[in-house]
Amino acid sequence: MLCQKCHKNIATVHFTQIINNEITHIDLCRQCAMHQNWMNIKLPIEVSSFLGGFIKFPSEQSIQPKEISEQCEKCAMTFNEFLKTGKMGCDNCYVQFGTGITPLLKRMHRNISHTGKVPEKLYKDIMTGKEIDLLEKELQNAVKKEEYEKAAVLRDKIKAIRSSNNAGKGDEKDGDQG
């Protein structure tokens, strides 16, 4: 594909702009891309600095330096290094910088627990488990509030879900009584 500006060189920079659901594609060679005033990019782009730009917190004051350890005890990576590169040094960094990365995870993923794809074979079991967990929490709250009629209904729902789930799996738990 040739550059859309000079029509001589091969296009190596592909720019896509979306404004009000209107998509504009521009394919430029390296030289034409560097001469564009509207495009402030440095070539070649460093992936670490590119990703680090997405990791800025909404307000730097939202995290007090006292809350975040200066550096990881295991790999000696600092929180500022993490902000710059967007990469953790080791598994312990998640524990060490926990209070600092929680707002980041919420901002990036809209949640701090995994809610991604689930294999089709496991989907029904996982959803049933989540439904049972939710009903059990409601049951505990009903018992605490001494709403025993509501608690009995919730208990019966949980039993019905569990028995239908076990019936669908066959007679795997014949010996279990519980």
* Residues 101, 58 share a domain: yes
Percentage, residues of the chain above pLDDT 90: 17
Average model confidence (pLDDT) across the chain: 75
Tens of pLDDT, residues 115-153: 677 777 787 888 888 899 999 999 999 999 999 999 999
**3 falls within a domain:** no
**59 falls within a domain:** yes
Model confidence at 34: pLDDT above 80 = no
Q: Is 12 exposed, middle or buried (0-12, 13-18, 19+ CB in 10 A)?
A: middle
| Residue 14 β-bridge partners | 27
* Residues 58, 104 share a domain: yes
List all residues 6 or more positions away from 102 whose beta carbon is below 8 Å from its beta carbon: 112
Across 42-64, average pLDDT:
49
**144 falls within a domain:** yes
Bond preceding residue 58 cis, omega within 30 of 0: no
Place of tokens 């079991």: 125
pTM of model > 0.85: no
- The boundaries of the domain holding residue 67 are 51-109
**164 falls within a domain:** yes
**How many domains are there within the chain?**
3
Cβ atoms of 125 and 92 closer than 8 Å: no
Tokens, residue 130? 């989540």
Task: Tell which wins on pLDDT, 91 or 157.
Answer: 157
* Residues 60, 30 share a domain: no
**2 falls within a domain:** no
